[in-house]
Structure 1
């Protein structure tokens, strides 16, 4: 009886050990399954965006714009894409921002106006300024060497009627500078200097000036012939300048016998307008 019990216990121990060995073998042979996430490549399009913040009215250079990948399903029809307009960097280079554009914001045709569009001139004007045009010739326009973005002085030449108070025996002429440091916006329909072009012979020059100066400019154009005197390149490089008016007293000439200077106060701004005696009187 004791031998039988011992045999049964031995068999039980052997069976338990064998079961443990088999269980351990099964567990060690199982390899963990690694779940690899499935990557779905989304179609992308190259969209033109702002490389940095572009404020309202700023002239945009090629460095201000960059192509950026954009999900195709999020591309609006108003976006500028590389497959549709691959030369967009050249097209919009030199354009003016119609509204503020944030860095990374897609460019649309409504946010930038290029020089080929009709609204370019109004976007080109500085805040508070006006665009005024005048007829020019090679003789009155510095021989055609005046280009857009140059700075000029405006000179008026008036004919004096004979028998005036100056005691002259015949007709004479008088010239004076009425505006200094005026920015040239365009020559004819040319809004920017063409690369390598040093002379633009046009018939019309468009200038930028203050509203009160535009009134005096129109008056001077009716009284005499206007000429443009080209200023140094250093004046064109400065961007913080405003054209200044020059009265008869500032130019060192007496107004007696030649005209009358009238000081006008408009909205707290004092301006001087000059009328020439014998013209329209």
Structure 2
């Protein structure tokens, strides 16, 4: 090989080696800067929440309430905050729960009632009435009907030929209490043997059951599935209160049977 080519080859090898060495030094001294992502923390407020699962009729106390940090943007009307009611835990001790509350759920004003010894009236929604009817083990699903269950009210009465007739006079009504019990027993019992059931009714439904109690040989309660709780009541026996033309009627009842029915309009014309 010619000397000139050897010189060129040697120069190329030396240049390549120096270039590689320089590259290694540059990469070894390079500093990598890692920048942490900045996460903005949403401001929070203290909201009063339930510290346990609370059934209808339970009374609040210091052990059943606590403050919890809540995103400020998620606070809605009805929440009780420490900024508006700093002494809420002390103020609400003894208050009755009107609707079921689960652990960690904010205590809304709509779900609690005024602290009062008149618990049942506090549990009644606006426009509703509480009416009691006699029951027994045989007429209330063997004692398995509990407060807050929903039932149909069935009237059993004698017919004209000494036969028995049945009719559903009220449908899908809420049971407020069995005797004086307005919630499940503390021991978790799943049955209650009582003599009276208190039902949550509309004003018109109270009239229906008042007439049915006079006409019936027996009123029975049929327990409904919880899946039917949202169904609308379509079977109220309004005909017990009004005639075919929609006018109120006057009923004469003897020994539990209607012996005479006259329209108030017709009666006023006589």
| TM-score for both structures, normalised by structure 2 | 0.52
Q: Aligned-pair distance for 1:128?
A: 1.3
CA distance 1:146–1:134, shift in 2 (3 Å): same
Corresponding residue number in structure 1 for 2:210 = 218
Structure with greater helix share of residues: 2
Is the CA contact (8 Å cut-off) linking 1:96 and 1:113 kept in structure 2?
no
Q: Aligned-pair distance for 1:263?
A: 5.0
Q: How many residues align?
A: 183
Q: Aligned-pair distance for 1:125?
A: 1.3
Corresponding residue number in structure 2 for 1:141 = 140
Structure 2 residues not aligned, in runs of 5+? 1-46, 51-55, 69-81, 100-105, 261-270
Q: Is 1:187 matched with 2:168? A: no
CA distance 1:212–1:185, shift in 2 (3 Å): same
Give SS of 1:234's match. Answer: helix
Q: Is 1:160 matched with 2:159? A: yes
- Over alpha carbons, which structure has the higher Rg? 1
Mapped partners of 1:81, 1:248: distance in 2: 47
Q: Is 1:95 matched with 2:97? A: yes
CA distance 1:123–1:218, shift in 2 (3 Å): same
Give SS of 1:121's match. Answer: helix
Q: Aligned-pair distance for 1:80?
A: 4.9
Corresponding residue number in structure 2 for 1:35 = none
Is the CA contact (8 Å cut-off) linking 1:95 and 1:113 kept in structure 2?
no
Runs (4+) off by over 6 Å? 58-64, 271-277
Matches within 5 A, 1:195-234: 196-224=188-216, 225-234=218-227
Corresponding residue number in structure 2 for 1:262 = 243
CA RMSD of aligned residues (A): 4.6
Mapped partners of 1:232, 1:151: distance in 2: 8
Corresponding residue number in structure 2 for 1:235 = 228
Corresponding residue number in structure 2 for 1:44 = none
